Amino acid sequence: MYFNFTIYNFFIKSNFWYKLSHFHKRLSENKNLEIETFFSSNSLFSIEFDCKPTGRDHAGIRFKISIFGLEAEINFYDCRHWDYKKNKWQENH
């Protein structure tokens, strides 16, 4: 499932982006939690939700919200890579 709604900032003269904070925590052998905050000139408002627990590299759940350039992102993901030929997680990661 994927959802994104964005109102772009059409008034910017130059595009900039920088990270304000970063938190990473390993929850189990394969699961990780990451929380980041940014400041960006790209959008006035944005909300994004991405949920795909398997079937791709670093699959998981991601939620991101941006209001007047201040962005917060929460990512709960699997650190393994997906083997697209065998349709399962790779054994060696």
pTM, entire model: 0.82
Pairwise CA distance, residues 15 & 22, whole Å: 21
Domain boundaries of the chain, sorted by first residue: 2-64
Per-position DSSP letters for 6-67, written without gaps between them: EEE-TT-SS--EEEEEEEEEE-SSSEEEEEEEEEESSEEEEEEEEEE-SSSTT-EEEEEEEE
**Rounded mean pLDDT for each run of 10 residues along the chain, 93 residues in total:** 92 83 95 95 92 85 95 94 85 67
Q: Which residues pair with 6 in a beta bridge?
A: 46
